[in-house]
Amino acid sequence: MTTPPRDGLAPDFLSDLFRHPLDPGYADAAARRAEHGPRPPWRRRGAYGLKVLTLVAIGFLLAVAYRQAVKAEPEATRAHAGLVGEVKSAQTATDDLQNQSDQLRRQVSDAQAAALGADAAELRQLRQEEAATGLAPVTGPGAVVRLVDAPTPIDPNTGRQSDQPVNRVLDIDLQGVANALWVSGAEAIAINGQRLIATSTIRAAGNAILVDLAPLSEPYTIQAIGPSSMTDALRKSAVGGFYSYLATSYGVKFAVRSTNGLRLAGAADPGLRYATPITPITPSSPPSPSGPVPSGTRPPGAGSTGSSPPASNSPPATPSPGGP
């Protein structure tokens, strides 16, 4: 008794496969050819011509696509080169203006020293106030914090960089670290060389991070002048613990170290604007204690912004020799 096949296969499928290796369709095609004879020449020529025509059409389409791509490439290259040139020109103009500003500030400092005298108490007080407000360069020991975006993941299949989003350092991260340094006793802070003062802002514009109007690029280096305990205080704070967790879990690089001899450049003059009353105040009506205050200042006890230094009882950082 023969065992019925399972799933449409013969009981000895492997043996049958080795005995008849060719597909049955070949045998059917050979039988039809033997019965009706070979295809007529016109049919063979027609099939061949159709194949050639199809290949010619495909080649023509590929040639047109390649020509269009090559034609558009110079336009894109010229547009990119033009944008790069505009950026470089604007950066050069900005650097020239910054150099002129620094030179004018040195002239103002020299004029102040000449008017008040090199040993005058007023001049020393002025330099201390400039250092405290961030308008003068300062030197001293402190801490350096470094934040870097997580590396781009590599696709294990292709070995190339993946298109997955990267864990990036954001403006709120720099705000958090700056606030933690102020709380830890910092007297002066700069981010990538940009000094923070009471009116500084740390914000995002698209994918860029700005301090005031100066764009930053990674690695983000935050330098702070302050007491020797500032580094340990930052590491033990909630902010330091959070970024240490991000470094171990998400690849964002976070490092804190102590250093001596930091020098932070002074910030540009903020150009404060003062509010004025709409109607003049008569002598019979004295101004209210809660009247207008200069822009960029805040009353005692007000909350600090993402970059404003809090009040500190510690002595100010040492002004650098030579003035601003």
- pLDDT tops 80 at residue 24: no
Select the more confidently predicted residue: 319 or 142: 142
Domain assignment present for residue 289? The answer is no
Domain assignment present for residue 298? The answer is no
109 and 154 together in one domain? no
94 and 32 together in one domain? yes
- pLDDT tops 60 at residue 25: yes
Residue 312 pLDDT = 44
Domain assignment present for residue 130? The answer is no
260-314 pLDDT per residue, tens: 889 998 887 777 677 777 776 666 555 554 444 443 434 344 334 445 454 444 4
318 and 244 together in one domain? yes
Domain boundary among 86, 116, 146: 116
90 and 171 together in one domain? no
146 and 89 together in one domain? no
Domain assignment present for residue 87? The answer is yes
151-194 pLDDT per residue, tens: 887 777 777 777 777 788 999 999 999 999 999 999 999 999 99
pTM to 2 decimal places: 0.57
Measured from the Cβ of residue 104, the count of other Cβ atoms closer than 10 Å reads 12
The set of residues, in sequence order, having a beta carbon less than 8 Å from that of 109 and lying 6+ positions away, is: 322, 323, 324
169 and 311 together in one domain? yes
Measured from the Cβ of residue 280, the count of other Cβ atoms closer than 10 Å reads 6
- The domain containing residue 65 runs over which residues? 28-116
Write the DSSP string, 71-131. Answer: HHHHHHHHHHHHHHHHHHHHHHHHHHHHHHHHHHHHHHHHHHHHHH-TT-HHHHHHHHHHH
316 and 228 together in one domain? yes
Residue 293 pLDDT = 41
36-64 pLDDT per residue, tens: 777 777 777 788 888 889 999 999 999 88
Strands, E assignment, the chain? 138-148, 188-191, 194-195, 202-205, 208-211, 214-216, 220-225, 253-264, 318-319
38 and 150 together in one domain? no
Domain assignment present for residue 143? The answer is yes
Domain boundary among 82, 116, 150: 116
Domain assignment present for residue 121? The answer is no
Domain tally for the chain?
Answer: 2
Residue 7 pLDDT = 52
Domain boundary among 61, 86, 116: 116
Q: What CATH number is attached to the domain comprising 193? A: 3.30.70.1880
42 and 180 together in one domain? no
Residue 291 pLDDT = 44
201 and 256 together in one domain? yes
186 and 319 together in one domain? yes
Q: How many residues can be counted in the chain?
A: 324
- Are residues 222 and 145 in contact, defined by beta-carbon separation less than 8 angstroms? yes
User: ω before 219 within 30° of 0 (cis)?
Assistant: yes
Domain assignment present for residue 157? The answer is yes
Residue 292 pLDDT = 43
Residue 255 pLDDT = 92
233 and 324 together in one domain? yes
Q: Which residue has the tokens 């490439």?
A: 73
